Amino acid sequence: MSFQAPKGTFDWMPPRSEWALIVRDALSAPARRAGYGYIETPAFEDTGLFARGVGESTDIVTKEMYTFQSKGGQSLTLRPEGTASVVRAVLEHGLYGGALPIKLWYSGSYFRYEKAQAGRYRHFSQVGAEALGAEDPALDAELIVLASDGYASLGLKNVRLLINSLGCKECRPAYRAALQDFLRGLDLDEATRQRIEINPLRILDDKRPEVQAQLVDAPLVTDHLCGACKAYHEEVRSLLTGAGLTYSDDPRLVRGLDYYTRTTFEFIHDGLGAQSAVGGGGRYDGLSEMIGGPALPSVGWALGVDRTVLAMEAEGLLTERPGQVEVFAVPLGEEARRRIFSLVAELRRDGIAVDMAFGGRGVKGAMKAADRSGARFALILGERDIEAGAVQVKDLTTGEQTAVPLAGVVDVLKGKLS
Ligand code: HAM
């Protein structure tokens, strides 16, 4: 009997897996430089947290959660996203009583029982950042700039930014009612009709052409913003422009989670087909209260690691092979193996990436392994070299080989590699 990774999941294997690490690092680096502290929350939470936080009417909660009962009888759910957990942790640890905003970043695995397809997985990875406890357009703009800088640092050129404002609890209800009135007059199937009453904004996101065709004249949220939301949104836009970002206004950008208020945004890559969002986020001023906390206006984003690697691939950025060793050691004989083993340990302690031939496969096999490793230099040690107190350093690109005194090889290699 053999096993396979479950549907909608995949293994990150070398050398491609190195890109997942590089992407995680690059996407989180700007936030780390901007004072965001690292938070790690459990991979599962009380089911109620997501039901209330993400929203009972969302696809995530109604169709996509991995929910199970613990042996103690509690309903638990594998986290489908990170924001609700971060807010839960901030409330649980009482951080909202201290200096605000609380800035946190995270990285990890998330789980959604989605229809599996290219770029849409049931187990995927995000880097996220959240700033909690401040209502300040500069914070919204800061987060958007940090995400944009993360993508740019990876060399990505074709990431587009879409932004919108969903209004607040003052102006959203009137917009919602106007949209419901409009939608009730359309020719829609029964499931979509039911949606009008539960989550009308999501219908704007319906991808079906027959639905989109009817939505051309739908009222737009941006025409219904109150004065405060309008001013807030204008300030976010102007800060983004001031920071050199280009963006498109997308009044239909509603996002798939219920907690958003005011600013919402998405980063799109056109080389990815249907699953084009490489990241997204927004302001969620009411989420803390939705899960039983005090008012805690907040904003954040999550960037998809898997899709960012796919975007880099689409732009031809995965050409070099990361994670390779610089030096490969080849012992010829038993005594040489012992000597080279300690030399390899010494080189590694000096910060040089080194591998060596294992398994006693002979010179030919060992040199093949050296070539495959991607190393720039091979260190070859034979009986005669030991007698002479030297080791052969072979440049694997040019084929040139020189004898170097054993005592000086660390410095010689450091010099050659620098
Ligand atoms: P989200 O838009 O659901 O937002 O997910 C953010 C990103 O995660 C997406 O843009 C996408 O790149 C990636 N992603 C989502 N689902 C999948 C999937 N099934 N397969 C592969 N990648 C996926 C959130 O999760 C919010 N928590 C973002 C946020 C933080 N809002 C405020 N703070």
Taking the CA of residue 60 as reference, the ligand 1 atom at the shortest distance is 3
Measure 255 CA to ligand 1 centroid, in angstroms.
Answer: 10
Measured CA to CA in angstroms, residue 233 lies from 74, 239, 356 at distances of: 42, 10, 58
Q: In this structure, are strands 261-269 and 401-405 parallel, antiparallel, or unpaired?
A: unpaired
Could you report the per-residue pLDDT of 244-254, keeping only the tens digit for each?
999 999 999 98
pLDDT of residue 206: 87
Return the pLDDT at 249.
Answer: 97
Q: Does residue 334 have a known ligand-binding role? A: no
Cα separation values, 153 from 26, 245, 281, 358, 385, Å:
7, 14, 20, 38, 46
Is 151 among the annotated ligand-binding positions?
no
Nearest residue by C-alpha to atom 25 in ligand 1:
81
Q: Is 36 annotated as a binding residue?
A: no
Q: Are strands 401-405 and 44-46 parallel, antiparallel or unpaired?
A: unpaired
Instruction: Note the pTM of the prediction, 2 decimals.
Output: 0.95
Tokens at 304, concatenated: 């998809």
Which atom of ligand 1 is the closest one to the Cα of 114?
19
Whole-number pLDDT of residue 144: 98
CA of 138 to the centre of ligand 1 (A): 23
Enumerate residue ranges in the chain where pLDDT < 70: none
Q: List pocket residues of ligand 1, CB cut-off 6 Å.
A: 81-83, 112, 114, 120-121, 124, 126, 128, 130, 256-257, 277-282, 284, 300-302, 304, 306-307
Domains and CATH numbers, the chain: 16-171+225-314 (3.30.930.10), 327-417 (3.40.50.800)
Q: Return the ligand 1 atom nearest residue 284 CA.
A: 32
For residue 315, say whether it is annotated as part of any ligand binding site: no
pLDDT of residue 248: 98
Question: How far is ligand 1, taken at its centre, from the CA of residue 267, in Å?
Answer: 11
Contact 226, 170 (CB under 8 A): yes
Measured in degrees and rounded to the nearest 5, phi and psi for residue 128 equal -130, 160
pLDDT of 320 reads 84
339 C-alpha to center of ligand 1: Å?
51
Residue 133 near residue 104, CB atoms below 8 Å:
no
Q: Output the CA 392–ligand 1 centroid distance in Å.
A: 52
Predicted local distance difference test score (pLDDT) of residue 340: 96
Q: Is 112 annotated as a binding residue?
A: yes
Q: How far is it, in rounded angstroms, from Cα 340 to Cα 381?
A: 7
Which residue type sits at 359?
A: G
CB atoms within 10 A of CB 108: 17
